[in-house]
Amino acid sequence: MARCVKNAIRFNRKGQFTQSVDKRRLGMRPEKMRNGMIGASELLKGRTVVKAGDWVDTVSDAREGDFIYLDPPYMGTSIGRDLRYAGQMTQERLVEGLEGVLARHLSVALSYDGSTGEKVYGPPLPSHLGMTRTHIHTGRSSQCTLSGKADETIESLYLSSDLEAEFEMVRVGKEAAPRQHELLV
């Protein structure tokens, strides 16, 4: 997966993997990758549950104090003619599920919308959710680079109110960026 084009895992409507190998780079040295995977495994062992399925079903047994990270397809890649995911999700369905999760006082971080250059990937989440929207500069867009452009990507990370209280700074690359966010009210 780490060697496919743009490290972007894509499937067609039949659920078949559709991304090709990126021949422009050699990939990570096996020993470095092994150390990273073992380190991540040790960090998460006994503390993490990974589930597959409809997201609302997978969080149905979560309890207060549990942390849930959601990374659904962006609207710009899941609605319209350029569908990159087998399963689509409307913003209305996402919001309905978030209302239920937040009502249960679960800690939620959600990577959702954003922009690349002038292109905006869907509207922000509604303010009644009470989540903090943090803008994270993630660098030059791989897709734009492949098209000969140099557009920068800004992604949004939404935090439930309990996580926002703990939020001090976002680490981007090797630099720590000062706290920048807007509270949706």
Q: φ, ψ for residue 103 (rounded to 5)? A: -65, -25
More confident residue, 7 or 124: 124
Least confident of 66-75, 136-145, 158-167: 136-145
* Count of C-beta atoms within a 10 Å radius of residue 56: 14
Give 57's pLDDT tier (boundaries 50, 70, 90). very high
- What is the per-residue pLDDT for 22? 73
Mean pLDDT to the nearest integer, 107-133:
84
Q: What is the pLDDT of residue 170?
A: 43
Q: Of the segments 5-9, 29-33, 107-111, 164-168, which one has the largest average pLDDT value?
A: 107-111
In the chain the domains, ranked by start, together with CATH numbers, are: 1-48 (no CATH), 49-183 (3.40.50)
Q: If we measure between CA atoms, which residue out of 76, 60, 59, 77 comes closest to residue 68?
A: 59
Token pair, residue 131, equals 């989540």
User: What does the pLDDT read at residue 167?
Assistant: 60
